[in-house]
Amino acid sequence: MKEDYAFKNEKELYSIIGKNIRYYRKLYSLNKKELTQESLAEIVNVSTSLIGNLESKKTYQGISIYNLYKISKILEIPIENFFIDR
């Protein structure tokens, strides 16, 4: 049986992930405590420029599954939420 999958291209996927990281980081800041790009990067143990590039609409930045997993745990959201195209 052949499944019909509508895969996003790489740039689209990175853009969706980045928008969602920004969205959930801002939501976390509103509901819990301030979480800047710098503080998120420090907790995840990545560079601030990685988080900035992920959230930027001008840059397409890849991310490892492990780092995405750590971000999901910090922001207290399921990892699959990063893949929802809003």
**What pLDDT is stored for residue 5 in this prediction?**
59
Label residue 22 by pLDDT band (50, 70, 90): very high
**What pLDDT is stored for residue 3 in this prediction?**
57
**What pLDDT is stored for residue 8 in this prediction?**
74
The string of pLDDT tens digits covering residues 28-85 is 999 999 999 999 999 999 999 999 999 998 888 899 999 999 999 999 999 999 999 9
Cβ density class 54-71: b for 16+ within 10 Å, e for less: bbeeeebbebeeebbebb
Enumerate domains of the chain plus CATH numbers. 10-83 (1.10.260.40)
